[in-house]
């Protein structure tokens, strides 16, 4: 679709309601926009315990969509001449002391923005509620291991965006939440958006929901905690907003940096740089590639950009078709592993109908590959990083994967055993319901003996040990 098409609000609302019921989503709010058109819809409950219904005015946590906000704050620093994409960490963040002292010299800003730094990515630490929480987090990174060499691979890295948050604080002279408010939220007029729990309760705030323990068929229950640690805010732990609040932010990026209300958020050069592909992801990955913050999708019929997010029982999905300017923002609570197929169904419907774009089959829908002539033992072993461990073994004629959490919150869940079904000699599907269902298991970096040195689960790489 190259020109505006009238959005059918009744059809969109009815489809959202039906899809939410089909996938048993507790509560959802969605906004779709193109040009001056805006359609909003909501379904379900944002708080099942209090019986509060979802509405377009409900605020949800946006999770890792926040990374686009943090990336924009970094690009503003570049526009102001305070930073460069090639600036090494040793210069941008001299107080950072990693286990490998050479890494701060070789990792630069572009590596952090594109998740190619190789720094251990799931370091979640609560350093308190004070304005020094991100600074204290940086101090805690001194023992972090390196997953791979900078620029060698893609491995989703929350840690890197918290480090970017500290760089923003140092160069702007204010805590990251204040910089976010001063330089994005207020200029765009997003009165219901924020990053603090005490701000969220002033609005119709969604709370996280999870499936009832030991009874997935029962109604989801409220999670008795609202947000993740404040220190992890720049990576997505705390920001919230209405579904429609993401629209003007995206439209600023589509409008050469200028928002619909006339604010120049970024330079045209920076918006273009952010959507240039910096890394191409392996086949069957969550996206086709990654820019500076943006996920990039090469699909049948066109291209999309966007990001996903997940916090404590809340999930988010942002998709944009840059050519036509169609933007879709979905924020949910509850649903567990059912959220991913829900998002896919909505995306297929909206961008299929209005843009002629269709998504390829998921890894679960692909035919099983014939690996009869392949020695499955080459995949076997222990793969370990800071938070999790994966054990791959052969059972009869197939591979099994056991996932174990090594630190909070992952070690609070029981270990999970999955059967792996090959779709190629490097990609496997999980043949069982559960948290890993629908997520491809990818093997990378094969040695001369044909043994993979890395396993990719949830867009994170984990190295073989021993």
Q: Which residues are catalytic?
A: 64
The pairing of strands 240-241 and 58-61 is antiparallel
**How long, in residues, is the chain?**
466
- Which residues, listed in sequence order, are joined to residue 320 by a DSSP beta bridge? 305, 327
The number of beta carbons lying within 10 Å of the beta carbon of residue 250 is 22
Angle between the N-to-C axes of helices 66-79 and 246-254, in degrees from 0 to 180, rounded to the nearest 10: 40
| Angstrom distances, CA of residue 170 to CA of 72, 92, 119, 134 | 16, 9, 21, 11
- Residue 115 corresponds to which tokens in the numbers above? 């998740």
H helix intervals, 133-190: 133-139, 158-172, 176-180
66 by DSSP, 3-state: which? helix
Please state, in angstroms and rounded to a whole number, the distance separating the CA atoms of residues 214 and 355. 42
DSSP 266: S
- Which residues, listed in sequence order, are joined to residue 303 by a DSSP beta bridge? 298
C-alpha closest to that of 295 among 279, 280, 306: 306
């Amino acid at each position: 679709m190259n020109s505006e098409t009238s959005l059918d609000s009744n059809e969109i609302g009815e489809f959202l309601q039906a899809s939410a019921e089909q996938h048993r989503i507790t509560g959802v709010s969605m906004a779709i926009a193109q040009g001056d058109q805006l359609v909003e819809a909501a379904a379900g409950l944002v708080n099942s315990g209090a019986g509060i219904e979802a509405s377009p005015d409900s605020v949800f946590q946006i999770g890792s969509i926040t990374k686009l906000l943090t990336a924009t704050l970094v690009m503003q620093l570049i526009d102001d001449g305070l930073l460069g994409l090639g600036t090494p960490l040793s210069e941008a963040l001299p107080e950072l002391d990693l286990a490998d002292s050479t890494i701060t010299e070789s990792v630069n800003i572009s590596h952090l923005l594109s998740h190619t730094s190789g720094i251990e990515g799931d370091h979640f630490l609560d350093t308190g509620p004070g304005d020094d929480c991100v600074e204290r987090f940086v101090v805690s990174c001194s023992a972090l291991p390196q997953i791979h060499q900078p620029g060698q691979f893609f491995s989703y890295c929350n840690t890197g965006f918290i480090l970017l948050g500290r760089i923003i604080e140092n160069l702007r002279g204010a805590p990251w939440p204040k910089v976010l408010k001063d330089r994005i939220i207020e200029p765009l007029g997003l009165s219901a958006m924020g990053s603090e729990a005490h701000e969220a309760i002033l609005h119709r705030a969604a709370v996280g929901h999870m499936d009832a323990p030991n009874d997935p068929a029962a109604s989801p229950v409220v999670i008795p905690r609202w947000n993740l640690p404040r220190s992890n805010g720049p990576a997505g732990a705390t920001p919230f907003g209405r579904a429609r609040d993401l629209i003007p932010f995206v439209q600023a990026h589509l409008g050469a940096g200028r928002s619909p209300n006339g604010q120049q958020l970024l330079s045209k050069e920076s918006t273009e740089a952010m959507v240039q592909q910096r890394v191409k992801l392996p086949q069957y990955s969550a996206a086709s590639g990654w820019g500076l913050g943006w996920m990039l999708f090469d699909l049948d019929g066109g291209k999309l950009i966007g990001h996903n997010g997940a916090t404590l029982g809340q999930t988010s999905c942002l998709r944009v078709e840059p050519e036509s300017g169609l933007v879709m923002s979905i924020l949910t609570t509850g649903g567990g592993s059912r959220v991913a197929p829900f998002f896919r169904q909505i995306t297929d419907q909206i961008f299929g109908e209005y843009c002629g774009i269709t998504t390829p089959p998921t890894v679960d829908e692909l035919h099983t590959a014939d690996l009869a002539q392949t020695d499955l033992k080459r995949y076997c072993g222990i793969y370990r990083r800071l938070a999790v461990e994966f054990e791959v073994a052969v059972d009869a004629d197939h591979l099994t994967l056991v996932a174990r959490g090594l630190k909070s919150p992952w070690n609070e869940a029981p270990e999970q055993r999955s059967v792996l079904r090959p779709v190629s000699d490097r990609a496997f599907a999980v043949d069982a319901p559960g948290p890993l269902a629908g997520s491809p298991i990818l093997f990378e970096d094969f040695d001369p003996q044909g043994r993979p040195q890395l396993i990719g689960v949830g867009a994170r790489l984990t190295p073989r040990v021993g």
